[in-house]
């Protein structure tokens, strides 16, 4: 998989992919990730990427022309309809559809993923209308830019690439993969400051352990995310 990030802060991503599963996936050749400076696709002396909003109001809006040029040079397409099969062009914005484990699994099928990081008060809407295949939000809060959201999307997606996780089963047992949260985990010592790990986990009875884990995951879901059980 090829991942291209379009941003006005390419240095933000320096080192970001040098850790853990993402680093291993890059080293194994499962994915190649590059951050590109949007200003490289401007033609004026000052490399201007933003302008005042039509209709007035605070803040600045990212101009459409450098973004269209960037996506065209990275994918060969200038419109959503001509983006080749297997390529996705994603705009990260608080107005997008919610990012979930299912979205990550969908994106993990792509050969190329282009992530556009919004900034300032927004991005000229013609980018969302005509250029991108997906407008995605990572949650109901406003970040100062799409860069942290791009990191989230890349991490959740890359760990689902075949071969990225150590064991083939580890992605199927975790939170959200079956519509509920993962069970709590414990490790040594069995007793810590008066708190004991559940006895059932220490007794080696695998059927009982599996049942306890299922029930404990369900309890946690009821407490923290009752919406998942509806």
Q: Enumerate the β-bridge partners of residue 122.
A: 61
Provide the CA 25 distance to its chain's centre, in angstroms. 15
- Residue 168: DSSP 8-state: T
CB nearer ligand ADE, residue 10 or residue 146 = 146
SS3 state at 27: helix
- Residue 118: DSSP 8-state: P
Nearest approach in angstroms of CB 191 to ligand ADE is 42
Nearest approach in angstroms of CB 153 to ligand ADE is 8
CB nearer ligand ADE, residue 10 or residue 147 = 147
CB nearer ligand ADE, residue 139 or residue 189 = 139
Find out whether 112 and 86 touch, Cβ atoms under 8 Å. Answer: yes
Per DSSP bridges, beta strands 191-192 and 195-196 are antiparallel
Per CB under 6 A, residues contacting ligand ADE are 92-94, 118, 137-139, 141-143, 146, 149
SS3 state at 88: strand
Nearest approach in angstroms of CB 44 to ligand ADE is 26
Nearest approach in angstroms of CB 59 to ligand ADE is 13
Nearest approach in angstroms of CB 152 to ligand ADE is 8
46-71 exposure pattern, b = at least 16 Cβ within 10 A, e = fewer: eeebbeeeeeeeeeebbbbebbbbbb
CB nearer ligand ADE, residue 53 or residue 184 = 53
CB nearer ligand ADE, residue 118 or residue 217 = 118
Interatomic CA distance for residues 131 and 126, integer angstroms: 7
CB nearer ligand ADE, residue 138 or residue 201 = 138
Nearest approach in angstroms of CB 141 to ligand ADE is 6
Contacts of 134 (CB under 8 A, 6+ apart): 88, 89, 90, 91, 96, 97, 107
């Amino acid at each position: 998989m090829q991942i291209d990030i379009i941003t006005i802060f390419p240095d933000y991503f320096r080192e970001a992919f040098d850790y853990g599963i993402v680093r291993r996936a890059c080293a194994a050749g499962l994915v190649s990730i590059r951050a590109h400076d949007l200003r490289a696709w401007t033609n004026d002396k000052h490399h201007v990427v933003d302008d005042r909003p039509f209709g007035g109001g605070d803040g600045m809006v990212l101009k459409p022309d450098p973004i269209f040029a960037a996506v065209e040079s990275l994918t060969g397409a200038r419109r959503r309809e001509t983006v080749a099969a297997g390529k996705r062009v994603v705009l990260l914005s608080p107005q997008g559809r919610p990012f979930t484990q299912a979205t990550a699994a969908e994106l993990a099928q792509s050969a190329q993923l282009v992530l556009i990081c919004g900034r300032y008060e927004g991005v000229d809407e013609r980018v969302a209308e005509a250029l991108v295949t997906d407008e995605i939000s990572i949650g109901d809060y406003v970040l100062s830019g799409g860069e942290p959201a791009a990191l989230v999307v890349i991490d959740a997606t890359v760990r689902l690439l075949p071969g990225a996780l150590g064991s083939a089963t580890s992605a199927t047992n975790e939170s959200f993969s079956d519509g509920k949260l993962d069970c709590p985990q414990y490790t040594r010592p069995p007793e810590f400051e008066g708190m004991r790990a559940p006895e059932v986990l220490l007794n080696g009875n695998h059927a009982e352990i599996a049942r306890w884990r299922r029930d404990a995951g369900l309890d946690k879901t009821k407490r923290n995310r009752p919406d998942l059980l509806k």
